[in-house]
Amino acid sequence: MSALASFLHHLAASCADDGFVRLSLSSPTRHDDAVQRIQARLVDLDGGLHLSFTLKEERRDTTQNVPLPDAVAWVERKLGREFRGALLATTTADWQLQLPDGKDARLIRHKPATTETPPRSHDGKKPTFLGASALPWLQGLGIVDQQGRPRKNLADKRVQIDRYVEILAHLARDCGFDAKSEAPLRVVDVGCGKGHLTFAAWHLCKHVLHRTPHVVGIEVRDELVANASELAAQLAPGELTFVHGDIGTVPLGAVDALVALHACNTATDHAIRRGIEAGARLIVVAPCCHQEVRPQLGRPAPLDAVLRHGLFAERMAEWATDGLRTLVLEHMGYRTKAIEFVGGEHTGKNLMLAAVRGSEPTPAQRATTRAAIDGFRAFFGIGTHALDELLAAPGPNAAGA
C-alpha cells in the first residue's frame, strides 16, 4: 500500500471508529494559489457525519462540509495535486504525510498528541491544548479577557500560542518527555520577551505532559524580566522563573529542551550552540533577521542571473542560512525538520527548525554530513559562520555548559 493510500485508510478508519481528532493539509504546490492551508474537523450534520473543511486564504476563510465517505475522496483529490503535506491526528496515533516533488512519499507515525475525542457538534470549539487551566496566565499576560476571549489586536497572538503548544506537544512526545518520571523537565526559552511562550511551555509540561516543570525564560530587558517574574511567582512558584541574561554567556546547566523563537541574526546560532553544549534532547528555533550570510553570498551559476536582484539575494541568504543551520544540527547528531510555525497571514516569520537528538553519529556519518556542509558553503561562498565553533569540536557534549 502506498503512503498516500495508507494515509487515506487511516483517515477513513478514524472517522468510522470515532478516533478522528483533526486534519490539516499544508505545503501548497503553488504558492500563488489563494488557499494556503486546509483544516478539517469531524461534525455531525443532519444526522450524518461530515468533514468540515476550512480553506484558509490570506484575507478570508471559507468552509465546505462534505459527507462521508465523499470527504475522503475530496482529500485524495487535494493531496499531491494541490498540497504536498498533511497531518492526521487521531486518538491512537498522529500520521504525517509528506509528498515531496520528485521524491518518494513518506508516512510517519507519531504518538497521539491527545487521546480525547473532540465534540462532533457543528458549533463545537476547536480542539486546543489550552483549556481552562491556561486562563490564569493568559489573562495575567493580557492576551485574553475574563471571559477567555482574545483582547483587541491579540487574536493572532492567541493563534500563535495554540500552534506553538501543538507543535511542542508532538516534539515532546517524539523525545519521550511524556514518559512517567519523577525528574523535572528542564526547558529554557531564550529571548523570551514578555514570556508568552515561556508560560505556554510551562503549561505544556505541567498540564499536558504531566511532568514537574523547571522552565526558565532568559531575556536581556530588565523590565520584561521583572513583569514576567511577578506573574510566575503568583502562578508557578518554583516551577517557572525568568532571569536577565544573554544566550551567548548566561549559565545554563543541563537542559532537556531549548527554545529560541525569533532570536535576531546570530542569536539563533548561539542558541543552537548552547543547546547542543547543554545536552538538549530537543532544540526548537524560529530564525529571524538573517544578516550574517547576506554580505558573503556569492552568485554561483546558474543562479547569478537572478541573484543580481536584491530581493532574490536576500531571500536566498535566508534560505541558505537556515539550510546551513539544519545541516550543522544533523552533523551534530540531531534529526532536524523545517516546520511552518503558523500561517503567513499571522506572521511573516513562520519558519521553525525542530531538532531531536538521536544517537551519536558514526565517523562515516559525520564525514558525510561534513562534506555536505563544506560543499554547501563553497557553492554559496560562505566563508565564516556563527556555528563554526561547533564544526571545530570533536562532537556533541552531554554535559551542561
pLDDT tens for residues 156-181?
888 888 888 888 988 998 898 988 88
332 shares a domain with 256: yes
What pLDDT does residue 158 have?
A: 84
Pair (136, 249) in one structural domain:
yes
In this structure, is residue 13 part of a structural domain?
yes
pLDDT tens digit sequence for 32-42 = 667 888 999 99
**pLDDT at residue 240, rounded to an integer:** 96
Least-confidence region, from 26-35, 52-61, 188-197: 26-35
Do 164 and 105 share a structural domain? no
Is 126 a member of any domain?
A: no
* Residue 116 lies inside a defined structural domain of this protein: no
Cell of residue 210, nine digits: 504531566
User: What's the pLDDT score for residue 401?
Assistant: 45
Q: Are residues 215 and 246 in the same domain?
A: yes
- And the C-alpha cell for 158? 492567541
Q: Within a domain: residue 172?
A: yes
Q: Could you give the number of structural domains in the chain? A: 2
Peptide bond into 302 cis (omega under 30): yes
What angle do the packed helices 196-203 and 155-174 form, to 10 degrees? 40
pLDDT number for residue 381:
92
Residues 60 and 193 grouped into a single domain: no
pLDDT digits (tens, 9 = 90+) for 357-368: 998 899 999 999
User: What average pLDDT score do residues 62-83 get?
Assistant: 91
Q: Which amino acid is at 203?
A: H
223 in the same domain as 85: no
Q: How far is CA 144 from the centre of its chain?
A: 23
What does the pLDDT read at residue 345? 43
- Enter the C-alpha cell of residue 235: 502562578
What does the DSSP assignment read for 292-346?
A: SSGGG----TTTHHHHTSHHHHHHHHHHHHHHHHHHHHHHTTEEEEEEE-S-TTT
Segment 246-295, tens digit of pLDDT: 888 888 889 999 999 888 888 899 999 999 999 999 999 988 888 888 88
Average pLDDT rounded to a whole number, residues 52-60: 83
Distance CA 81, CA 52 (A): 20
Cα gap 335→284, rounded to integer Å: 12
Tell whether 367 is covered by a domain.
yes
Average pLDDT, the chain: 87
Residue 271 within a domain: yes
* Residue 32: predicted pLDDT: 63
What DSSP element (H or E) covers 26? strand 20-28
pTM given for the model: 0.69
Does 72 share its domain with 155? no
Q: Supply the pLDDT for residue 396.
A: 47
Instruction: Tell me what pLDDT residue 237 has.
Output: 94
pLDDT number for residue 320:
92
CATH number, domain containing residue 361: 3.40.50.150
Query: Which pLDDT band, with edges at 50, 70 and 90, does 347 fall under?
Result: very low
Asked whether residue 115 is domain-assigned, the answer is no
| Residue ranges in 79-180 assigned as alpha helix (H) | 135-140, 155-174
* 349 has pLDDT over 60: no
Same domain, 270 and 225: yes
- What is the distance between the alpha carbons of residues 317 and 311, in angstroms, rounded to a whole number? 10
Nearest partner of 168 among 97, 261, 99, 78, judged by Cα: 261
Who wins on pLDDT, 147 or 358?
358
Give the residue-averaged pLDDT of 313-327: 92
- Strand runs labelled E in 191-317: 213-219, 240-244, 257-264, 282-288
Question: What is the domain extent for residue 331?
Answer: 132-392
pLDDT per residue over 90-123, tens digit each?
999 999 999 988 788 999 999 988 888 888 775 5
User: Quick one: 154 and 95 in the same domain?
Assistant: no
Please indicate, yes or no, whether residues 149 and 293 belong to a single structural domain of this protein: yes
pLDDT, position 201: 94
Q: Strand 106-110 vs strand 185-190: parallel, antiparallel, or unpaired? A: unpaired
Predicted pLDDT at 393: 64
Task: Supply the pLDDT for residue 400.
Answer: 43
Ramachandran sector of residue 262 (left: φ over 0; alpha: ψ -120 to 50; beta: rest): left
Residue scoring higher pLDDT (16 or 127): 16
Whether residues 140 and 90 share a domain: the answer is: no
* Residue 374 in domain: yes
| Pair 101, 141 in one domain | no
